[in-house]
């Protein structure tokens, strides 16, 4: 088996008396789209925050690209190539869509301690940002402020920002959250195209999307991995149906 891009070992996190992540271990393999599903409150976002470094686990190890990053701050992990999107859209509202993405390009190309030259005139920053916007079908809205975009467009912008980081791992926290049927279908298309370019961890409630996209699915319940497997295996597993899928597939 190939060396995993990301491996979590014995991860544990308590919020007061509540055990949100409970001795959790998980591997993400190169090139795979690994979906993470589970009911509300299963600890999905907490897990993602631990992966991206916004929350420190109480115990356990996080290894990213062969490097132990358990003690590395979020900014450091991002510089190593770990990109994430947010469940609640986190763009810069008063920046144009292009600038939002250009900031992601800038983060990995050259020093940002440059005080004189106008960043908006840097052709290569803008060109690469434009390419990421094209990838998600947002190029025609490049000059609009993020706050002027529709909800679905902002979800796409989130994706473009993550893409522009040229990540070694992409962690997407409910990229379809709150989007309509049409927009959500468009995002699935985009993800379908991105698949294979880099490994993706996808947290999503839209089961249709998950089973259409995922190579492997892990089911998270009460902070533990109930099972990991191919979509078809997971879908028909009686434990999973009882715990989570039951009412949704019925």
Partner 1 sequence: MAEVAAERAPVVSSATTAWRSYVLPLVIFALFAAIPLLGQFTAEAYLLSLVTRVMIFAIAALSLDLLVGYGALVSFGHAAFMGIGAYAVGILASHGFGDALVALPVALAASALFAWLTGIVSLRTKGVYFIMITLAFGQMAFFTASSLAPYGGDDGLTLQSRSTVAGFDLLANDRVFYYVTFLCLVAIYLFCRALVRSRFGRVFRGARENETRMVTLGYDVYRYRLVAYVLAGMMAGLSGFLLANATNFVAPAYMSWQRSGELLIMIILGGIGSLNGAVIGTAAFLLLEEWLAGFTEHWKMIFGPFLVLAVVFVPGGLLGLSRFIMRRLRRG
* Burial class, 114, CB count within 10 angstroms (exposed 0-12 / middle 13-18 / buried 19+): exposed
Binds partner 1 by CB under 8 A, chosen from 5, 36, 104, 149? 104
| 73 near partner 1, rule: CB under 8 A | yes
- Determine how many CB atoms are found less than 10 A away from the CB of residue 6: 22
Q: Which member of 1, 16, 118, 250 binds partner 1 (CB under 8 A)?
A: 118
Contact string (CB under 8 A) for partner 1, positions 119-138, x = contact: xxxx----------------
Contact call for residue 65 and partner 1 (CB under 8 A): no
Using CB under 8 A as the binding rule, whether residue 76 contacts partner 1 is answered as yes
- Give the Cα separation of 106 and 102 in Å (integer): 6
Contact of 210 with 249, CB cutoff 8 Å = no
Lookup: tokens for 58: 């109480």
Candidates 130, 138, 157, 165: give the one binding partner 1 (CB under 8 A): 165
Q: How far is CA 240 from CA 25, 208, 226, 229, in A?
A: 18, 16, 8, 11
CB of 210 to partner 1, least distance (A): 23
Which residue ranges make up the site for partner 1 (CB under 8 A)?
A: 52, 54, 73-76, 78-79, 83-84, 86, 90-96, 99, 102-104, 106-108, 110-122, 143, 161, 165
């Amino acid at each position: 088996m190939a060396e995993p891009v990301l491996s979590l070992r014995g991860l544990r996190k308590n919020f007061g008396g509540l055990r949100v992540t409970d001795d959790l271990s998980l591997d993400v393999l190169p090139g795979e789209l690994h979906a993470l599903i589970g009911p509300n409150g299963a600890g999905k976002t907490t897990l993602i925050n631990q992966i991206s470094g916004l929350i420190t686990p109480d115990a356990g190890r996080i290894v990213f690209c062969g490097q132990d990053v358990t003690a590395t701050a979020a900014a450091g992990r991002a510089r190593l190539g770990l990109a994430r999107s947010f469940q609640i859209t986190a763009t810069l509202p008063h920046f144009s869509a292009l600038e939002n993405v250009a900031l992601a390009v800038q983060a990995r190309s050259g020093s940002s301690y440059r005080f004189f030259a106008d960043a908006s005139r840097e052709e290569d920053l803008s060109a690469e940002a434009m390419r990421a916007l094209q990838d998600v079908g947002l190029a025609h809205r490049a000059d609009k402020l993020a706050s002027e975009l529709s909800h679905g467009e902002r979800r796409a912008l989130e994706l473009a920002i993550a893409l522009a980081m040229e990540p070694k791992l992409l962690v997407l926290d409910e990229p379809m959250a709150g989007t309509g049927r049409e927009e959500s279908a468009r995002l699935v298309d985009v993800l379908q195209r991105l698949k294979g370019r880099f490994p993706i961890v996808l947290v999503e409630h839209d089961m249709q999307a998950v089973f259409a996209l995922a190579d492997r699915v892990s089911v998270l319940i009460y902070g533990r991995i109930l099972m990991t497997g191919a979509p078809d295996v997971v879908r028909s597993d009686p434990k999973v149906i009882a715990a989570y899928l039951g009412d949704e597939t019925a």
